[in-house]
Amino acid sequence: QKEVEQDPGPLSVPEGAIVSLNCTYSNSAFQYFMWYRQYSRKGPELLMYTYSSGNKEDGRFTAQVDKSSKYISLFIRDSQPSDSATYLCAMSGHFGNEKLTFGTGTRLTIIP
Amino acid sequence: DVKVTQSSRYLVKRTGEKVFLECVQDMDHENMFWYRQDPGLGLRLIYFSYDVKMKEKGDIPEGYSVSREKKERFSLILESASTNQTSMYLCASSLNPGVTDTQYFGPGTRLTVL
């Protein structure tokens, strides 16, 4: 079993819809949770970063962490065609100098 | 803006060749990383470095080596390329010790080994 599971999609939604992207994980030591966005033929770029449980909002994006369920989510409100990309979750443990563990990524397409 | 550059966007090599992938960052970052990205497997860490001349193995170091002679440059070496090393290779860097710091990625090198 992989440490981090992420539905690869593809996921297609109409413009303006709310998008929900999710990851589950098995390692209870994970404390830092990140979402990266990767456009086609580009490297990933950090979108959101949360520590431990709770919600974090940044414009149209909300990251949610439920450590009791080992489940993290990224919500995109009022989705735009420019949001079309692959979204990767990543996480790491409590102590510094530990590597990031990535999900496989979900490919998202927003249809105009 | 942080810039991480990789020497080639596309590379085609033959089995058994020695392959060098170069990565340069221009923000004086301490940490540099090499990943490979494959469909269904996501990003997997090959090697990382927290300082010049320092390296640590990641999850899948077999068949690879690295070199960091200068702070801004981190090279990935495939001593004898094999077809199962066909992949997208991504370099990343971050400022502070501890990988919870933001990692900035390069555009990637798509390597095909024939």
Which of residues 68 through 97 in chain A touch B, CB cutoff 8 A? Answer: 88, 90, 92, 96-97
pLDDT at B35: 96
B98 contacts A45? CB cut-off 8 A? no
| Token pair in block for residue A4 | 């981090």
A48 inside 8 A of chain B by CB: no
Chain B residues whose CB is inside 8 A of the A49 CB are 102
A99 contacts B59? CB cut-off 8 A? yes
A98 contacts B43? CB cut-off 8 A? no
DSSP label of B1: -
Q: Which residue has the tokens 């404390």?
A: A31
Q: Is the CB of residue A12 less than 8 Å from the CB of residue A109?
A: yes
How large is the average pLDDT for residues B78-89?
A: 97
Q: How far is CA A13 from the centre of its chain?
A: 17
More confident residue, B70 or A95: B70
pLDDT in tens, A30-73: 888 999 999 998 999 999 988 888 899 999 999 999 999 999 99
A10 inside 8 A of chain B by CB: no
Cis peptide before A10 (omega within 30 of 0): yes
B98 contacts A100? CB cut-off 8 A? no
- Mean residue pLDDT across chain B: 91
A23 beta partners: A6, A72
DSSP label of B103: P
A100 inside 8 A of chain B by CB: yes
Which of B42, B97, B105 is opposite residue A96, by nearest beta carbon?
B97
Query: How far is B92 from chain A, CA to nearest CA, in Å?
Result: 9
pLDDT in tens, B95-106: 876 555 678 899
pLDDT at B88: 96
Cα–Cα distance measured from residue B99 to residue B91, given in angstroms and rounded to the nearest whole number: 14
